[in-house]
Amino acid sequence: MIFALPLIPGTLLKRYKRFLADIKLTDGTIVTAHTTNTGSMLTLVEPGSPVWLSESDNPKRKLKYTWEIGAAGSTAVGVNTAIPNLLVFDEISKGNVDSLTGYSTIKREVKYGKNSRIDVFLQQEGRPDCYVEVKSVTLSRRQGVAEFPDAVSSRGTKHLEELGDMVEQGHRAVMFYLAQRSDCTDFATANDIDPVYAAALKQAIKRGVEVLAYGCQVTPEGIFLDKPLVVSI
């Protein structure tokens, strides 16, 4: 996924109120950027860290900047939680996710479950419908291991239960974790952060929910799907 316009580099001053971050641009200007990520962004909010912002020309927006990329040490990490859904949808559409090929219909944001919407819905005559839930992964505390979640995620637990329900109704369900970073080879749940979610994922797998995890190449020019990660649940 290529960014429409070049990103703007800066330095993180602070993140606050979940959705706001103060950034110092290279010319010394201080701006407030919107942060789409509702998690803790653990390891990514250290003041002085390099960041990259997108700029919107929409006059109706209260904040014209959006925080797109942060840094964990020397590793660039995509932090915009809207990107994984778009990226995964695009890559499945192009046939670049081997285990999710062979479907003639692909849609986004289809209603299902208990007042929920599935991120990607796949359909092919003669095959069970396929429901794909996408989660953005930014955390890595152990070398080479991407972890989810970085904060308690009751909403994520609910999604796991609904995916299991789809399997029991005769459909296919896939939990797709997209690590927006290139330094990981494995994926695991952050059991210490949200043990309830970790237990729910194990239960979902027992019910037949499949798990996929991929890494990304992250640059100021774009974020691109990379290799599959080894899932260690």
Render pLDDT for 142-180 as a digit per residue (tens, 0 to 9).
Answer: 999 999 999 999 999 999 999 999 999 999 999 999 999
The H or E element that residue 177 is part of is: strand 172-179
Q: How far apart are CA 147 and CA 117, in angstroms?
A: 24
Mean predicted confidence (pLDDT) in 107-112: 94
Identify the CATH assignment for 8-78 out of 2.40.50.580, 3.30.450.20, 3.40.50.10860, 3.40.50.800: 2.40.50.580
Band of residue 113 on the pLDDT scale cut at 50, 70, 90 = confident
Q: What is the mean pLDDT of the chain?
A: 96
Band of residue 131 on the pLDDT scale cut at 50, 70, 90 = very high
Amino acid at 29: T
For residue 150 the two structure tokens come to 């970085």
Residues 6+ apart with CB under 8 A from 104: 123, 124, 125
- Domain segments of the chain as ranges: 8-78, 83-231
Same fold yes or no, 8-78 and 83-231: no
Residue 115 scores a pLDDT above 90: no
Residue 109 scores a pLDDT above 90: yes
Contact (CB, 8 A) for 63 and 106: no
For a pLDDT cut of 70, what percent of the chain falls above it?
Answer: 100
Render pLDDT for 26-57 as a digit per residue (tens, 0 to 9).
Answer: 999 999 999 999 999 999 999 999 999 999 98
Render pLDDT for 87-96 as a digit per residue (tens, 0 to 9).
Answer: 999 999 999 9
Mean predicted confidence (pLDDT) in 11-19: 96
Contact (CB, 8 A) for 78 and 37: no
Is 83-231 CATH 3.40.1350.60? yes
Mean predicted confidence (pLDDT) in 207-226: 98
Mean predicted confidence (pLDDT) in 22-26: 98
Render pLDDT for 70-81 as a digit per residue (tens, 0 to 9).
Answer: 999 999 999 999
User: What secondary structure does DSSP assign to 111-170, as a single string?
Assistant: EETTTEEEEEEEE-TTS--EEEEEEEE-EEEETTEEEE-SS--HHHHHHHHHHHHHHHTT
